Structures are given as C-alpha cells and as structure tokens.
Structure 1
Amino acid sequence: MPYPHASAPRVAPVEEPAPEVAEALAKTLTGGDGVPLAIFRTMARHPRMMKRFNVLGGFFLTRGDLPARERELVVLRTAWRSGCEYEWAQHVLIGRDAGLTDAEIERIATGGEWSEVDAALLRLADEVLAEADVTDATWWELAEHYTDAQLCELVLLVGFYRMAAGFLNAAGVVKEDRLPSWPVRAPGGS
C-alpha cells in the first residue's frame, strides 16, 4: 500500500436514513442482526449510486456463471492485493460458505501450493490488478476450464471488487466487529 488508510471514517455511515434511502438499504446485505452492512450505510450518502452498485454486486454474488468457490478465491485475492481489510473480512465469511477452507484462505495471502486452475485464477487477478490485462498464457489456460462468458465475468469481477476496495479504503469504512481480521502477513503481498 502506498500510504496508510484512513484511521477513522471519512464518510460517516447513514444512521437515520430518509424513507426512500431506508427502503433501498432494506434490500442490501446485513450482518445477521438486520442492520445493513457498513459499506451500504456509507454508500447510502449517494443513494442512486448505491442502488446501481448493488445491482452489479448482486449479480456477481447470486446470478453470475462462476462457481462460488472460484469467485470467492478471486475476490479474496483482489481484496488482499488491494489492501482492503473490510472487503477481505466480509469475503472470508462468504468464501467459507462457498467452500474455501481456512487454510486456502490463509494461502491467498501467504502463498503456497495450488491446483493449476486455482493458481491460474489467482494469477488472473494479479495480472488484471497490476496491468489491467491478462497474459495469453493465463487466458488460454483458464479457457480450457471456463466459457467465454465466465472469462469475461472473471475479469469484470476483479475490476468491480478493486473499485469497491478503493471506495472502502478511501472512505474509511470501518468493518463490523464480528468480522475476522487480516491474516498474519501484511496485505498487498503475494
């Protein structure tokens, strides 16, 4: 990370939303206590944008063509490489539900052995984040296992979650207390 993130929220989450904003927030994910997640309460400062963000984010989480485990592997790598603890923490929980083990989640940050396909998925995320592109070798390796639609989705998934990480980091969104912390190594490494 080129500089430290905000230590306190730069944009305060909406606590008492207007009725139309409350209606939009009611359609977002909650922390299990019925309270919308901090990302959405913060984004609610721009309700029209939040609605559009939720449409695309909801597509990736519930309507995409990628298997959930692979999706979460890529999202967690994006969060890690983007230095976004909030995104990392939320997707550790989602990743577990999608079938990632705690050991796999740890290896996303610390490195280690992966299957050829998982290694290619992680490499795709790294390449898109570093170069806004994918090498031919990575693309064609993944093309042996995924459809054109899934390959497009993979690239856009990285871009979407990189955008979300930038918002979360810059706005200083504070993660909910129930969420896990970073793994042992500092973020941003391989």
Structure 2
Amino acid sequence: MRTPPLPGDQWGEEEDAALAGMLPRRLRNPEGAGNALGTLIRHPELTKAFLGLNVHLLFRSTLPPRLRELAILRIAKRRDCSYEWLHHVLVAAKEGMTEAEIEAAGEGRADGELERAVLRAVDELDGDSNLSDLTWAELSEHLDERQRMDLIFTIGTYITLSIAFNALGVRPEHER
C-alpha cells in the first residue's frame, strides 16, 4: 500500500466526526472502517466532504440499487480497481445479482435494454466524458431526470474512487 490506513493510535475526534455521516459509532475505528475509509481518513476534511456525496449515492439515490451496482462493477473492471470490484461483487450479490450477471456487468454485457444502456453510459462517460444521443434517449425511456442525474454522478464518483484507490494503493481487507 502506498498510503496505508491511519493507525489506530492516531484516530481522534476529527476522524470520528468525518466518518459520522457514513458509519455508526461502533465502526468508526480502523477495523470497522476498513482499508478504504481507513486510508481516506488520513485527510478528515476531504473525507467528510466526499462522504456526503457518497452517502447520497449509496443510500438515498433515486437510482435502483441493481443499476447502481451494474455501473460500479463496470467501472471497477474498466479501471482495474480490485478494491471496488471485490467490495461491490458482494454488494451486487446482496442485491440479487447472480455470479454470471456480475461477471457480465464487468465485461459490459447485460440482457435488458436499460441495463445495456447503463453499461454503455459507463463506457461513454469514462471514455469521452459525455453520453451519446442514443444512450441518453434509451436512458430517458426508463429513468426520470433525477435518476439520470444520480446515474451520471454515480459513474463520475466511482471513477474518482477507483483512481484514488488505485493511486493510493488501497487493497481489499483480506490483503491488509
């Protein structure tokens, strides 16, 4: 790891406050927070600001959880981010996705028109920072304005997280 999680003896009130919007008190520690948040907490002000958006995308988004996970899995594969991939494989499975669907999402494949459009949106935004008119039209047939906005921000946020986790060297917990 280039930037390891903050050691427990360096956690204090500032770190606790930065994680308060995301984690219950019992998890606001090096073991409970895990490698990703344990690393990000080295910059408490940035972490607190970022988690406001991330909490919305994970827990308050208008986007259905399955579509969110499809997008995140595709991003994780495109960005070769093992932390995001391994973490969101578990989340996707909890959302009812099969192992075959999870692997297909990583490869940019899905059965339904909307799911294919979501995966294409990831590829387009990650490649050109824009959506084609075709993709926008297909998303618009199934998602309302707020859902489309949540999708775009989910894609952008998880691209950013993948960059950060890769550059900082965040590893999945079992590699700690």
Matching residue of 1:95: 92
The aligned amino acid for 1:14 is L
What is the CA deviation profile of residues 69-127 of structure 1, one whole-angstrom value per residue up to 9, with x for unaligned ones? 11110111111111111011111111111221111001123455521111111001100
After superposition, the Cα gap between the structure-2 partners of 1:62 and 1:167, relative to the gap in structure 1 and judged at 3 Å, is: same
* Structure 2: tracts of 5 or more residues without a match: none
CA distance in 2, matches of 1:21, 1:112: 40
Identity %: 37
CA distance in 1, matches of 2:126, 2:135: 14
Query: Of 158, 170, 173, which residue of structure 2 is paired with 1:176?
Result: 173
TM-score (norm 1): 0.82
Matching residue of 1:64: 61
C-alpha deviation, 1:161, in angstroms: 0.2
Question: Does residue 38 in structure 1 map to residue 35 in structure 2?
Answer: yes
- Does the 8 Å contact 2:74/2:108 carry over to 1? no
The aligned amino acid for 2:162 is A
CA distance in 1, matches of 2:62, 2:85: 22
CA distance in 2, matches of 1:12, 1:113: 36
C-alpha deviation, 1:26, in angstroms: 5.6
After superposition, the Cα gap between the structure-2 partners of 1:113 and 1:164, relative to the gap in structure 1 and judged at 3 Å, is: closer
TM-score (norm 2): 0.88
**Number of equivalent positions:** 168
What is the CA deviation profile of residues 130-153 of structure 1, one whole-angstrom value per residue up to 9, with x for unaligned ones? 000000001101100000111111
Query: Of 12, 26, 37, which residue of structure 2 is paired with 1:18?
Result: 12
C-alpha deviation, 1:10, in angstroms: 1.0
Matching residue of 1:185: none
